[in-house]
Amino acid sequence: MYETVSFLHSWWAYLVLLVLIIATVKFIVGISSKQEYGATDFRLALFTLIVSHIQLLIGLVLYFVSPYFQAFGEAGMGEVMGDSTLRLYLVEHPLMMIIALILITIGYSKHKNKRLSNQKFKTLGIFYGIALVFVLSRIPWSAWF
């Protein structure tokens, strides 16, 4: 089961990263070029929200079936924090990804209350942009390549 969930989590991450990059760039361009916020922009924001939430669910399953999680129970918090690999997979990566997901969710929720296109783009651009930075900061790049 671990291998299947790990495979799914790894490949879905490419989709999440791609959609988050596209959405962030689109919203920043929308701010700078004073575009009108339209249905396509709404769909992109919603799709980004959905794929990132699906990734969270896959990641939570992976977290609890992972051999790293078993090591957490055996080694204890002190050893986990002392080992950079365990710390990345058990603390840093999950925490930063959850924070990024919270930012995406807040940005999406706040943008719906805005009336003007520029305000919508600005809200989405800021929250999705910060979330993108958080995601990029804690991706286990050595496992990706």
Residue-level pLDDT, tens digit, the chain, 145 residues:
888 998 999 899 999 999 999 999 999 999 999 899 999 999 999 999 999 999 999 999 998 988 888 877 787 888 878 888 888 888 899 999 999 999 999 999 999 999 998 899 999 999 999 999 999 998 887 776 6
DSSP string, 68-83: HHHHHHHH-HHHHHHS
Check residue 113 and report its DSSP letter.
T
Which pLDDT score is estimated for 69?
81
Q: How many CB atoms lie within 10 A of CB 58?
A: 19
How far apart CA 20 and CA 18 sit, in angstroms, is 6
- Residue 96 corresponds to which amino acid? M
Which pLDDT score is estimated for 2?
85
How far apart CA 103 and CA 100 sit, in angstroms, is 5
